[in-house]
Every structure is written in C-alpha cells, then in structure tokens.
Amino acid sequence: MSTPQRVLLIITGGIAAYKSLDLIRRLREQGVAVRCVLTEGATQFVTPLSVAALSEEKVYQDLFSLTDEAEMGHIRLSREADLLVVAPCTANMMAKMAAGLADDLASTVLLATDKPVLIAPAMNLYMWASPATQANLATLQSRGIRVVGPGSGVLACGEVGAGRMSDVPDLVQAILAALRPVEKPLAGKTALVTSGPTHEPIDPVRYIANRSSGKQGHAIAAALADLGADVTLVSGPVTLPDPAGVRVVRVESARDMLAACQAALPASGLLDVAVCAAAVADWGVDVAPQKLKKQDGAAPPAIALRPNPDILATLSAAGPQRPRLVVGFAAETESVIDHAVAKRARKGCDWICANDVSSATGTFGGDRNTVHLISADGVESWPDLPKTDVATRLARRIAETLISP
C-alpha cells in the first residue's frame, strides 16, 4: 500500500480559520494526510482539540516545545510534508514570509522548508489592496509560492470587496494539483513575452508613458516557465520582481523593445510562441537634446509625434522566423470585442486577448482581469479572474495548441 501524500496545514489568526476545519476533512476524504500547525492567533478562532480530532494527528503550536524541539521539530515538520499550505494566510504572515522572519513555529517552518508552498490569503479588502501587501505578494510569487485567491464578496467586517479566503472546494482542487507530479508540457519549447509599458522620451527629463503595471505579462512569463518553456521576458519599466526561472531583458522605449524581441528570435529554428502583453506606446517623439524650458508668456513647445514600430505586426508577419503561435493583447476602453477582432485581422496574429482597461475596471495596475480570447474559431469570454489565473489558463491553452498533432 502506497504512503499517502502529506500536507502540513498552517492555520493563522483570521475568521476564515473556520474553513480550515472543513479543508482538513475534505483533504482526508481525498486520501491526503494532514498535519497542522496553529499560530497563537489561530487558537482564538479554532481549538487545537477540534483540529486534532479532524486530522487525527498531533497539533503543533510552540516553537520552544522541549519534546518536539529535542528532535528539531520545526525542521522535521517542514521536511516530512509534500506540500505546505497556509490557509488562511493573513497579511501579517505574508509579510513575515516575504521578509524571511522566523519568530514563531509557523514562520520558522516556512523559512526552513525545501518543499513547495501554497497560500490562501484572507484579510480586509484595504489590507489586501495595501501597497505593502501587494509588494509582499509579488515577492512571494517571484519565489515560486503558489497563491489561491482571495475571492470577492461580503467580508467578516461587513465591507464588500476582495479579501475572502477561497472556498474549500477550490482550495482542495489547487492542493491536489500542487501534489500531483509536475507536468512540463512545454519542456523544450521556446517563448517570448513582452510586458509592461514603454517610456517614450520627450527630452532628457520627460517621457510619454501609460498606466500598465506589467503584472499580466510577468504572470504569463512565469506561467509558461512553470510549464517548462524556455522563456525570454522583454519588459518595459516596471517595479515588479523578475519571475523565477525566466530570462529578463529590460528596455525603455518601443524601439528598444522591438530590437530586444528580434534579438531573442532563435538564430536557427522557430520560436514556438510569442505573447505580446506589453502596452507599447503607439507614438514616439522626436527627442529634444535639452530639457524643454517653460518660457513666461510663450506658447508651449510643439511636440512632434511619430509612429512607433509595430511589434505585434512585425512578429506576426509571414517569414522564416515567424513564431509558430503569436498572441497579442488589445487594451480597449469601449467596443472591446469589435476592436480586438479588427486588430487581430489587421496585425496578422493568431490570437488576441482583449480586455477592458477603462478606469472603472481597475485593470491597469490592478490584480484582476477579464479577458476575451479571440481566435479564428471565434470569441471565448473568460470570467473575471486574478491575473495569475488568467496567465495559467492562457499558458495551458498555449501548451494544448503547441503539443496537439
């Protein structure tokens, strides 16, 4: 009889901890052994007795337990699990993990582990939207930590928004997927991804730009790498950490980005997929050699715009170096699908991912996206999803297409 896979479930101090009791039960129904660590805050919401009864395992709480630490318990706990799951994962625990703190048993186990980690964030919507939390999230994702949720809805505090811990069935599905042997359907395939905005200089001081954060493009690069692809990410100016396992080329302008993309094309053989997710400026400027000065009483200086090179159309053009699959993005503010369908025909790419970036959606700079995948087969509208989930879904679709007969 094979040994069951083991999850070390770390429960932190949030009202969503009650869901962890059901999570334990459902995982055990799937044949997964569950061992639990409770933070001090978690014991305010669930009892060690209830957790022990459901898991049928000893519950661990104290970093300085003489019995457990005589055997270096925090090391043993982290190494004997196949997967570490933090559910719920509070803003405080995310901050500890990002900073590498180890001031209790839970954070020490997480720092000492060599196993994969999955977190299910749960907190107030303003805590989730805080720049500090979002920076911690980006740091954790760049280290390969899987993130599930949070969802949106009515929170325990009575406010409405993002911050609810994912539902237990969704968590079980994600945990089982993380426990399965890692599939690398894109092993041996090459991918090029563009991400972020471009900065088009006006003079040595000023530039034209847009509000793209690069979150979607960086997530796509990471998702393709997770599936085994050899990924080159050409990124405009962003504040995001580099995705793990990805070769990153940093550029400023659209002309720089095109040159980097062309340099990334294989000298022999074909690039398998190019995903143009960057929000490239349509126009550049004839750059002034010195800072343009404001003159009292004088009219503002004229800024002459010139068309920028079209990276998507260039990569889509028929020729010996055309990637097997070219995917573009259409950031629109109205008539989203109509404009995207026309853009796909005009550019000659295979797929277009259309999204609404009008200010009310919060797509630019936000963490969620609503995408319509447009191909020769028609329009497939996806639900509102975290950008990481959009990336995973797109990467899987790319893999299915590239490996199909």
Cβ neighbours for 377, distance < 8 A, ≥ 6 positions apart:
none
Which is it for strands 305-307 and 283-285: parallel, antiparallel or unpaired?
Answer: antiparallel
167 and 196 both lie in a single domain:
no
19-38 mean pLDDT: 94
* Number of neighbours of residue 359 by Cβ within 10 angstroms: 9
Whether the pLDDT of residue 133 is over 80: the answer is yes
206-232 mean pLDDT: 93
Which pLDDT score, from 0 to 100, does residue 78 have?
Answer: 82
* Residue at token pair 């300085």: 64
Kindly indicate the confidence band of residue 2, based on its pLDDT and cuts at 50, 70 and 90: low
Structural domain count, the chain: 2
pLDDT averaged over every residue in the chain: 89
Of the candidates 15, 19, 30, which has an alpha carbon nearest to the alpha carbon of residue 7?
30
118 and 226 both lie in a single domain:
no
Domain coverage including residue 197: 190-289+296-403
Q: Is residue 184 part of a domain?
A: no
75-88 mean pLDDT: 89
Cβ neighbours for 258, distance < 8 A, ≥ 6 positions apart:
309, 311, 314
Which pLDDT tens digit goes with each residue over 367-405?
Answer: 888 999 999 999 999 998 889 889 999 999 999 999 876
Using the Cα atoms of residue 93, residue 98, residue 104 and residue 106 in order, give the sign of their dihedral.
positive
Which pLDDT tens digit goes with each residue over 294-349?
Answer: 888 889 888 889 999 999 999 999 788 899 999 999 988 899 999 999 999 999 99
Whether the pLDDT of residue 96 is over 70: the answer is yes
198 and 311 both lie in a single domain:
yes
Whether the pLDDT of residue 34 is over 50: the answer is yes
153 and 205 both lie in a single domain:
no
Per the structure block, which two tokens stand in for 264? 């990334």
Whether 357 contacts 331, CB under 8 Å: yes
Domain stop point among 119, 146, 179? 179
Question: What does pTM read for this prediction?
Answer: 0.67
Q: Residue 100 carries which DSSP code?
A: T
**To which H or E segment does residue 14 belong?**
none
Regarding predicted confidence, which is higher, 38 or 182?
38
CA end-to-end span of the chain, whole Å? Answer: 38
Q: How far is CA 150 from CA 46, 67, 258, 384, in A?
A: 21, 37, 36, 13
148 and 198 both lie in a single domain:
no
224-234 mean pLDDT: 94
Which pLDDT score, from 0 to 100, does residue 154 have?
Answer: 67
What value, to the nearest 5°, has the Cα angle with vertex 109 and ends 105 and 113? 175
Known binding-site residue numbers for CTP: 282, 291, 309-312, 329, 343, 347
Share of the chain above pLDDT 70, in %: 94
35 and 172 both lie in a single domain:
yes
The residues assigned a catalytic role are 157
204 and 170 both lie in a single domain:
no
Domain stop point among 131, 155, 179? 179
The CATH number linked to 228 is 3.40.50.10300
